[in-house]
Structure 1
Amino acid sequence: MAVTVEITQSTVLEPSRESARGGGKKVPLTVFDRASTDGYIPAVFAWNAPAPTNDALKAGLVAAVARFPHLAGRFAADDHGRKCFHLNDAGVLVLEATADTDLADALAHDVSAHINELYPKAEKERANEPIFQAQLTRYACGGLVIGTACHHQVADGQSMSVFYTAWASAVRTDSAVLTSPFVDRSATVVPRSPPTPAYDHRNIEFKGELSWSHSYGVLLMDRIKNLAVHFPDEFIADLKARVGTRCSTFQCLLAHAWKKITAARDLAPDDFTQVRVAVNCRGRAKPPVPMDFFGNMVLWAFPRMQVRDLLSSSYPVVVSAIRDAVALVDDEYIQSFIDFGEAERGVIEDGGEELASTAATPGTMFCPDLEVDSWLGFRFHDLDFGCGPPCAFLPPDLPIEGIMIFVPSCDAKGGVDLFMALDDEHVQAFKQICYSME
């Protein structure tokens, strides 16, 4: 079914003078910011009619973004020529659009055919590009899709969930009662004196000569197929029962997906496979960083197993491998990473080469490995603009083979949705075994 989406209005919304909090300051990127993806990440949500008006959504967005000055700012260069945030309250971009069909019809058919028309096409290379952009698409029935594009170096998934919730609250209630997040980036990256990094971060989080990311190949884009798998609550409960020991929903589902994808890939038994697991460091740092900190505070764990061991091991063994790897991202590792950032800052300001993140680029083929992110802590029912929670999370195109995202299902019965990208050659085999616990 062909759907025509037409942009009807484009506006840059700036915080009012009374509410603006940027103050024109230039704020350095932290080492966590520099390790994240240097590009825009889209997110798309749908609401059935009746949905709030565009005017209400825009007014709430202005009120919310005033409390998140990094989102209303721009990227700039500091006195050393390094990329930084300019908190100049320049505003956020909002596009308004219409779609010529009912939302239910669009959701019932292949939404992926027009998903790329439902969020702004932000370009990091464009001068003065807004850091946060949103598109409000109104369907013929009155249904609404909100698609956003936010630069990853300004915020991780935890931070964006805090912002989305604040935006919804600003539309739903009196914006004067909105709370402000913790935005002091300097307080989250306090190095030791002198800085004493204890790990080889230049070859783990960044692209050094020995970096693990250098070994990955490239796959033709038409070979990278996106698919979604829904895991009902009953399936997850059965999986946890098989693990036996206490484990999180994320851990047990990752263990399952890792086993099934590896089997579908038909790898050699002697090969090794690992998963790049995003780890929220807020509660792991000492002292802990507030959970409402707005910025990036993610590092990665790398559980690794030989293929024959992964496929023959029980769920408790695989979950244990994941848990043990995540446990290595402790306060000492986090402090080492912060110290590394401080030591490198001096080198770069003296003319050294800028750090380059190991974040994958479109077309990357992770096979035999995987990368996973979790949005399971994002309570979608809080994303209520006054007419109820979203009826659907619509995954934008995932252009990297082997990437996975776990998302709480918008289905009334709960469960978890796994959105992933695989080589087309492995999709059918995975579909045949994705619910098997053998």
Structure 2
Amino acid sequence: MESPRVEMISNSFVKPKFISKEAKKPVYLSPWDLAMMSTHYIQKGLLYALPKNQDFSITAFLDDLKDSLSATLTHFHPLAARLSTVKQQNPPSFSVFIDPNNSPGARFIHSSVNLTVADILTPTDVPLVVQSFFDHHKAISHEGHELSLLSVQVTELVDGIFIGCSVNHMVADGSSFWHFFNSWSEVFRSNTISRPPVIKRWVPPGSDPIITLPFTREDQFIERPSPSCLRVRNFHFSSDSLVKLKAKANSECNTTKISTLQSLTALVWRCMTRARRLLPDQETSCRMAADNRKRLSPPLPETYFGTSLHSVKATATTGQLLDQSVGWAAWRLHQAVVNHDDKVIREFVNSWLKRPFVYTMSRYFDASCVHIGGSPRFDMYGNKFRLGKGLAVLSGYANKFDGKVTVYPGREGGGSIDLEICMLSKNMEAFESDMEFMSVVNEEDNKLRIF
């Protein structure tokens, strides 16, 4: 039986409430931003229960959301702009920047669907209809020349509300995405913003802030991934379960340095590799998204608004990974993270400036790789919008592929973690039956789901 369709009720655009002199200037992009040209928009949002207060008015609520969004965009003004390209003839190349001119602003959509909160949270797999809770379906960042760089979609359910944001990945990474979302929630609550963003992009000292790219045709840097037969599941890990896993990993390596996330990532890497039935001598890798802000010297401010990501990688043969302990795998990941320092970051950026490239699925990801994104440190459940604590964080179609794992904080806090795991259907059944993995998962919490 097919799910009901999500119906659009209204569609409008929201501009910053005030436009400063700085907001009228173009924003030139960093190497980290430009490398994201072929990636999907970031799509994340929160599901809420419908307030039981009989005085609740969806019309008034939407008006308040728009008004607070307009005030928030005063500070996060790049999200109200569009991308623009200037082409050079000799040599053939072009530069892309954020252009505040001739833009209608950020998009705001009101929609509805005849489904309940239970319809979304009860199934084992994340329902496909959730993809329709986000705008810019399948859009890649380069399309920000025509599409809004931010689109908010508020979807009414029978007994709930979903607030979903689609943000261009050339404009923001996960840290910046949640910085914006947190700030919007703060403005909605108190009409103040405690952590204004730093908009100016970082390039190495002495580099030209206007970076030119040596491409002449879109097919040299654009790829539209189309994953097939993917299943998407969320798994919950309690703080107690994770404390035990971390202690086990550290004990096996006679250390105390391995983190909770490194321990959990090592477990996923091992069990996902086992489920894929790779040959013993086949190489497998695990990539973790690393924030460069604190690793640079001097560091960038935490409020740096843009993309500042790098992927750190650990590799092993399948035989090594499965014959050794989870601690052995966690230590390799720990070393990869520790070794990602200022020197490595600057070497990467300088190398990129000499030979610019754009991340594409076919060139930078393979069928034996596990890729970890997101962070349990992002404040997701603090965004209440007078609706109470969110019931779940959910994502759209964007940036999903076989082996993609997204990390969320657990709803109850206290160090708990949720993982959104994407795998080919043929491998997910073996993965979700893996005894090593399921011994750490809090299965009852997965079945009952707090709502």
Give TM class, smaller chain.
0.7 to 0.9
- Residue by residue, what CA displacement relative to the aligned partner does 1:70-124 show, whole Å, maximum 9, x if unpaired? 1111100136432111133641000011222333444334752311221112545
Do 2:230 and 2:424's aligned partners in 1 also have CA atoms closer than 8 Å? yes
Task: Among all aligned residue pairs of Structure 1 and Structure 2, give the percentage whose two residues are the same amino acid.
Answer: 24
1:327 aligned partner: 338
Q: Partners in 2 of 1:3 and 1:360 — Cα distance? A: 32
Structure 1 residues 338, 105: closer, same or farther in 2, change over 3 A? Answer: closer
The one-letter amino acid paired with 1:235 is: S
Match of 1:66 among 56, 64, 74: 74
Q: Which amino acid aligns with 2:73?
A: V
Report whether the alignment pairs 1:138 with 2:156: yes
* 1:28 and 2:34 matched: no
Structure 1 residue 306 corresponds to structure 2 residue 296:
no
Task: Determine which of 80, 97, 102 is the counterpart of 2:116.
Answer: 102
Instruction: Give the Å deviation of 1:22.
Output: 4.8
Is 1:406–1:418's contact at 8 Å kept on the other side of the alignment? yes
Q: Deviations over 1:346-405 (max 9, x none)?
A: xxxxxxxxx33234269x973212111122111223212233231111232364111111
TM-superposed deviation, 1:435: 1.9
Total equivalences in the alignment: 402
**Equivalent position to 2:179, from 162, 165, 187:** 162
**Kept after mapping to 2: 8 A contact 1:279/1:326:** yes
Return the match for 2:167 from 123, 147, 150: 150
TM-score, with length taken from structure 2: 0.81
Contact 1:361 1:400 in 2 (8 A): no
- The equivalent residue for 1:347 is none
Q: Deviations over 1:38-64 (max 9, x none)?
A: 331211211112277111111111111
The letter of the residue matching 1:290 is P
Residues 16 and 77 of structure 2 are in contact (CA less than 8 Å); yes or no, is this contact kept in structure 1?
A: no
What is the deviation of 1:131?
0.4
- Is the 2:232–2:423 contact (alpha carbons within 8 Å) kept by the matching residues of 1? yes
Aligned to 1:242: 248
Residue segments in structure 2 that go unaligned for 5+ positions in a row: 89-93, 209-213, 251-255, 441-451
Q: Residues 283 and 126 from structure 1, CA distance in 2 versus in 1: closer, same or farther, beyond 3 angstroms?
A: closer
Measured in 2, the distance between the counterparts of 1:74 and 1:220 equals 25
Cα distance in structure 2, aligned partners of 1:223 and 1:387: 35
Match in the other structure for 1:115: 130
Asked if 2 retains the 8 angstrom alpha-carbon contact of 1:112 and 1:396, the reply is no
Q: Does the CA contact (< 8 Å) of 1:365 and 1:400 recur in 2?
A: no
CA distance in 1 between counterparts of 2:317 and 2:413 reads: 39
Matches within 5 A, 1:413-432: 415-432=416-433
CA contact (8 A) 1:380 1:389 kept: no
Q: What residue number does 1:229 align with?
A: 235
Structure 1 unmatched ranges of 5 or more: 195-201, 209-213, 345-354
Q: Is the 8 A contact 1:191 1:335 kept in 2?
A: no
- 1:403-418 equivalences under 5 Å are 403-411=404-412, 415-418=416-419
State the one-letter code of the partner of 1:63: A
The alignment partner of 1:62 has SS state of helix
Q: 1 CA distance for matches of 2:415 and 2:344?
A: 35
Q: Distance in 1 between matches of 2:11 and 2:311?
A: 38
Q: Output the CA distance in 2 between the equivalents of 1:27 and 1:35.
A: 16
CA distance in 2: counterparts of 1:357 and 1:236, whole angstroms: 36
Q: Which letter does structure 1 place at the counterpart of 2:147?
A: E
Following superposition, the deviation at residue 277 of structure 1 comes to: 1.6
Cα separation, 1, equivalents of 2:379 and 2:176 = 13
Q: Secondary structure of 1:382's partner?
A: coil
Give the Cα–Cα distance (whole angstroms) in 1 for the partners of residues 144 and 315 of structure 2.
39
Which stretch of the first structure deviates more once superposed, 106-115 or 30-39?
106-115
CA distance 1:10–1:361, change in 2 (3 Å): farther
Letter of the structure 1 residue corresponding to residue 327 of structure 2: P
Q: State the match for 1:211 in structure 2.
A: none
8 Å Cα contact 1:22/1:87 also seen in 2: no
Q: Secondary structure at the match of 2:80?
A: coil
Does 1:44 pair with 2:45?
Answer: yes
Alpha-carbon deviations, 1:17-53, whole Å to 9, x = none? x345654322222101122253312112111122771
Q: Which residue of 2 aligns with 1:83?
A: 96
Distance 1:303 1:26 in 2: 38
Structure 1 stretch 75-84 or stretch 266-275: which is displaced more? 75-84
Q: Deviations over 1:263-322 (max 9, x none)?
A: 111211111111122110100001000111100111111101121111122232211100
What displacement does 1:178 show?
A: 4.5
Alignment partner of 1:338 out of 333, 341, 349 = 349
Greater displacement, 130-139 / 118-127:
118-127
Q: 1:128 aligns with which of 130, 143, 146?
A: 146
More displaced stretch, 422-431 vs 152-161: 422-431
Residue of structure 1 aligned with 2:188, choices 139, 149, 171: 171
Structure 1 residues 376-385 or 91-100, which shifts more? 376-385
| 2-structure distance, mates of 1:298, 1:365 | 16
Q: Are the structure 2 counterparts of residues 386 and 308 from structure 1 closer, same or farther at C-alpha, using a change threshold of 3 Å?
A: same
